[in-house]
Amino acid sequence: MTVADLFGVRVTGPLLPHAEGFSERLTELGYTRLSAADQLRLMAHLSRWLASRGLGAGQLTPQRAEQFLRARRCAGYASRRSQRGLAPLLDYLRGQGVSPQPMPAAACTPVQRMARDYHVYLVQERGLAAGTIRRYVRDAGLFLTELLGQDDGDLGALTPGEVTDFVLRECRRRGSGSARNLVASLRSLLRFCYLQGHTTRELAPAVPAAASWRGASLPRGVDAGAVSRLLRSCDQRTAMGRRDYAILVLLSRLGLRVAEVAALTLDDVDWRHGEIVIRGKGGRQERLPLPADAGQALAGYLSYGRPAAASRFLFLRMPAPRGGLSPTGIATIVRAACDRAGLPRAGAHRLRHGAASEMLRAGAGLPEVAQVLRHASLATTAIYAKVDRAALRSLARPWPWSAA
């Protein structure tokens, strides 16, 4: 066979042996016939370009892929002229071992090498959540770049005064929450530096505490009436509406975090025992009872809303390529529901606060709330005691000068 005719597209040249497999992959990912044809036209163009230069699929390096895109732009093509547009095809070819994988960027400067080693430490030794690791590494890069610059990376001469001065400078231009995050990041980095021998003494104690009062603020939850409006805003006659409804039910009933919802897979729902597996912070896995209304919402989505896809993630993107929703995608669904319901935009975490507050109002104790929210410490849950006004009212003493 010298020509492949798929979706009305003729593919010739070095990519011909892979055209049928790529076509099947596009179908698995949920591409429509029109979108799949566009991807195959791109494949046909790339294959012709490789053939005109006497190159094979195994010589499609990232540099040559960029050369092809430049040629495509110069030829006047109006679509798929960027790395993003070429990504589905390149991912397929690389996944099949046809084209070489891109080489990771080498850590060439002392700061980059130390940041890379610190990232490995956070993943392998600390087991932190991906979002926490990104924040810690970002703050580490800021600190190391300012303190080391382009020097040889020797932290042995670092003094407690320099650490304190850096924190004070940075915290002056940050809010209280950002300042607390920086302090935590920097203490972690300095402990790592001491363990690895980059510093001769423990400098983490030199990081001053950010000014804050634990529990000074009230958790701002979404009340039951607002939650009902959010749920009613989902059009359950559509696949997207069923998906969004199920996500909102899980957020509001179980108090899940957006990352936990995004990480759910089809295997995490135990229908026989009425439980769901949650992958929380630090790689912890816990089983929670699945409330009846949450189970019904999930069943409706799986039966009539979830598109056919190879992905095992529970909640999928609707447009192709069909893969799991990201935490950002989950948060976007909450904001869109607020807009539809005519409510002020609220972060997804406020549904978690609302779930905790409703449990307290229903008579649950703090230990039960802590178990559902999967808090490592009861002290974290104690802040919700301040929103249980009915219980607090019974503890309040009458004002001395109130009327008898």
Annotated active-site positions, please? 257, 281, 349, 352, 375, 384
Please give the DSSP secondary-structure letter assigned to residue 288. Answer: E
d(CA 117, CA 112): 9
**Residues with Cβ < 8 Å from 122, sequence gap 6 or more?**
128, 132, 133, 136, 137, 188
Do 141 and 115 touch, CB atoms closer than 8 A?
yes
Q: Residue 9: what are its φ and ψ, rounded to 5°?
A: -110, 130
Strand order in the sheet with 269-270: 269-270, 275-279, 285-289
324: nearest Cα among 254, 260, 249: 260
Distance (Å, rounded) from C-alpha 334 to C-alpha 345?
A: 8
Q: Please name which of 351, 353, 381, 379 lies closest in space to residue 366, comparing C-alpha atoms.
A: 381
Q: Residues 283, 285, 286, 291: is their CA dihedral positive or negative?
A: positive
